[in-house]
Amino acid sequence: MHVLLSLVLVTGLAAQGSRPSKSGPSVLGSWIGHIGTPAGKIRVVFHLKKTAKGFAGTLDSPDQQAFGIAMDRVEIQGRKLKLAIQRLGIRYEGKLDPKSGKIVGTFHQAGDLRLILRPLRGKIEKPPRPQEPKPPFPYRVEEVRFESAPGVRLAGSLTLPKGAGPFPALVLVTGSGPQDRNESLMGHKPFLVLADALTRRGIAVLRYDDRGVGKSTGKFAAATTQDFAVDALAAVSYLKGRKEIDPKKIGICGHSEGGLVAPICAAKSKDVAFMILLAGPAVSGAEILKAQGRKILRVKGVPEFMVEAISRSNAQAYDLILKEDSLPALRKKLKPILEKAWKMTPRGKKEDFVAKQTRMLLSPWFRAFVRFDPRPYLAKLDRPILVLNGSKDVQVLAEQNLPVFRKLLARNKDATIIELPGLNHLFQTCKTGDLGEYGKIEETMAPKVLKTIGDWILARFGK
């Protein structure tokens, strides 16, 4: 699953730089700075302009491929400015220093970060992504829509090999957090790369925007893993109705949390002919988060005494969620744990930190995820399954999950479980597996992973 970054954004297009005002220093224009997140430093760009009604602004996060996010509040008084994006819990207050030409201020989001902005000159260049396919493609690409739960209409891309078919088909299911059909993250589009590689080899692929994301309708924030399984089965049902698809050769490939969705779908429907789990969990959400937290901290070089202290605090919170059903009681019991956690790394106001963490911990998705255990589903699987995990994955640890997969799938006659050396959670060739490497690595998905998946499917479901 994707660890939530301290800046959570959505996608769009890049923007041009600014020019200084002829009448002297002005905060209008485009400004760039850097803030720290669990994945390392990321660039933040503010675009500020004057309108007939006052002032307006947008925010970009180029390293997250997020652009054009409208601000709810833009207040400018001389050299001072106050900005806000309420839905993301973001505020910025700063003042232009006429000598340096920079805006010095504080970025607020569950804490306070010093953020110095300088004028943006020219254009933000996107990082190289050599694997990202470019048209024309040697296959057909269709924009499709299909119904899921009431109020949820999913939009996606169906890639079809040349010819009449019928073809084997694969539904791609994203990891945790609101994801588009390409599973875009840090400038990478893993599902676009995977769909391209497989369709070139004769496998149809359907990938879709999560409910409430992109062109899909519905409310993402209210959904849980079980709801995402409903969406994935809707995708399978849609493919069954396509004449180009062999209805007996439709599988689900889930990445991270999507690896929980696939077994749920298989348990509910025989229409799922096979499964591919990419960094999918074999243990409960609570177990995943406890191991993940320790691993991420250690890879970052955090002193062991801090690793232990933070891990104990996290474990207390997760264990409370497992035991306590009452939201008011849970809220009350979490407060002292979160206040203690804030003291370990004090950043911003304690009340803001506690409030934001409480909202996250008490969200329907998080509570359901912590409690969900895939073991009962995995133990009953009787269909072909491919399980892949990178040896340097710090989010879903191979050493924690693969032994459990081997035990649970021992009776499955067609279970393939592979640990891939040197690969991280996104299946990139990496040095340490640290989240900060994701955006810096040019490779989107290791070629050996693309080949392994294609070979495995075609060996069982090829013509």
215-251 tens-digit pLDDT? 999 999 889 999 999 999 999 999 999 999 999 999 9
Question: pLDDT over 90 for what percent of the chain?
Answer: 78
Sign of CA dihedral 127, 181, 185, 214: positive
Q: What average pLDDT score do residues 186-197 get?
A: 95
Res 370 pLDDT > 70: yes
Residue 121 has a CB neighbour count (10 Å cut-off) of 11
Tens of pLDDT, residues 258-283: 999 999 999 999 999 999 999 999 99
Amino acid at 30: S
State the span(s) of the chain assigned CATH 3.40.50.1820. Answer: 139-283+373-461
**Cα gap 89→105, rounded to integer Å:** 17
Structure tokens at 415: 């279970």
Q: What average pLDDT score do residues 166-195 get?
A: 95
DSSP classification of residue 98 = T
Which residues are CB-neighbours of 283 under 8 A, at least 6 positions away?
373, 374, 375, 400, 401, 404
What pLDDT shows up at residue 123?
Answer: 81
For the stretch 94-114, what's the b/e string if a residue is b when 16 or more beta carbons lie within 10 angstroms of its beta carbon?
bebeeeeebbebebbbbbbbe
Res 2 pLDDT > 50: no
Who wins on pLDDT, 126 or 326?
326
What pLDDT shows up at residue 338?
Answer: 93
Tens of pLDDT, residues 22-71: 344 689 999 999 987 665 678 899 999 999 989 999 998 887 767 788 89
Q: Which residue has the tokens 């910025």?
A: 92
State the span(s) of the chain assigned CATH 2.40.128.120. Answer: 29-119
Which residues are CB-neighbours of 114 under 8 A, at least 6 positions away?
104, 105, 106, 107
Tens of pLDDT, residues 332-347: 999 999 999 888 876 6
**Cα gap 434→442, rounded to integer Å:** 15
Who wins on pLDDT, 72 or 304?
304
The 8 Å CB, 24+ separation contacts for 118-123 are 118/31, 118/32, 118/33, 119/17, 119/18, 119/20, 119/29, 119/30, 119/31, 119/32, 120/17, 120/18, 120/29, 120/30, 120/31, 120/32, 120/45, 121/17, 122/16, 122/17, 123/14, 123/16, 123/17
Tens of pLDDT, residues 426-435: 999 999 999 9
265: nearest Cα among 218, 232, 304, 297: 232
Who wins on pLDDT, 205 or 352?
205
Q: How many angstroms separate the most distant Cα atoms in the chain?
A: 77
Amino acid at 126: K
In degrees and rounded to multiples of 5, residue 153 shows phi and psi of -120, 120
For domain 139-283+373-461, give the CATH number: 3.40.50.1820
User: Fold for domain 29-119?
Assistant: Lipocalin (2.40.128)
Summary mean pLDDT of the chain: 90
What pLDDT shows up at residue 187?
Answer: 82
Q: What average pLDDT score do residues 147-161 get?
A: 98
Give me the residues paired with residue 117 across strands: 103
Q: Which burial class, exposed, middle or buried, applies to 125 when counting CB atoms under 10 A from its CB (0-12, 13-18, 19+)?
A: exposed
Pairing of strands 153-161, 204-208: antiparallel
Pairing of strands 274-278, 385-390: parallel
Which ranges of 87-242 would DSSP assign to H, the alpha helix? 190-199, 225-240
Structure tokens at 156: 């996606």
